[in-house]
Amino acid sequence: MRLLVTGAGGMLGGDVVAAALAAGHECVALDRAALDITDQAAASAAVAEHAPEVVVNCAAWTDVDGAEAHEAEALAVNGDGAGNLAWAAVAAGARLVHVSTDYVFDGTATRAYVESDPTGPLTAYGRTKLAGERAVLGCGPQNAVVRTAWLFGLGGRNFVATILDRAAGGQREFDVVDDQVGCPTYTGHLAARLIEVAQGGLGGILHAAGDGSCSWNELARAIAAAAELDITVRPTSSAALDRPARRPAWSVLASERGGEPLPPWRDGLDAYLQAARALR
């Protein structure tokens, strides 16, 4: 199968390219410098030129707080850009597999969110990602939207790397929120699932996140234990952090559409730490 991966220079995109090649697929990798998905003509030209069977879109505006002050710019990438790729894929006879987020929900649920649950984003980022979902699915049922949550992996900024880097720099005390619960997801595991979705041809909305759930505080303590860090992790509240964008209190995802869940988030953490050590 021939794949085109957009956003290939990012944390998830890099792992998707690696997963595609490991599965024996032909893969064209385009980073932001090679393709600006907000440029409709460029998106159409790139898809037409490379003639993929499936486009996997990992390009996104991921600055959640920054989107509050720059919603139009975030929408151009997360909404219009996703739509540009979807239309380009349709014109080329290809499918689009698009990555979305738990932020399309309001975080007030008391059980795991499934694909059919109503959306209600609290933030500009969530609104722009929901716009992207609608643009992608509006181009045809063959396209897939894969929602995920709390990503961490090599080659990009993420919570796990932040804890490790600050501890390496000498920080010994961390105040981490305990009132946000979600599913930490290793990009290596998610990338393999995205390739499965590309291969399988299933369209519509799908959820894929690390199995199990925890708070950010619990994740920080798990990082400290697994990496044998001599640090203290204290609980704090979201209100105390006073960030521009309100985070969903509950970001646990599950799937009602069948298939195996991703590996447990603790397995993802172990895999990440092992990969990080190999790079030293």
Q: Which of 246, 244, 251 is nearest to 65 (CA)?
A: 244
Q: Which of 148, 111, 112, 143 is nearest to 129 (CA)?
A: 148
Question: CA dist 177 to 247, 249, 255, Å?
Answer: 11, 10, 26
| Candidate list 113, 125, 186, 272, residue with the active-site label | 125
Q: Is 93 exposed, middle or buried (0-12, 13-18, 19+ CB in 10 A)?
A: exposed
Q: How far apart are CA 272 and CA 199, in angstroms?
A: 25
Q: What is the DSSP string of 67-121?
A: HHH-HHHHHIIIIIIHHHHHHHHHHTT-EEEEEEEGGGS-S--SS-B-TTSPP--
Q: How far apart are CA 278 and CA 264, in angstroms?
A: 22
Write down the residue that tokens 């595609």 correspond to.
Answer: 20
Q: Which amino acid is at 15?
A: D
Annotated catalytic residue 125: yes
Do the strands 214-215 and 181-182 form a parallel or antiparallel pair, or are they unpaired?
antiparallel
* Contact present, 58 and 30 (Cβ < 8 Å): no
Residues annotated catalytic, as ranges: 125
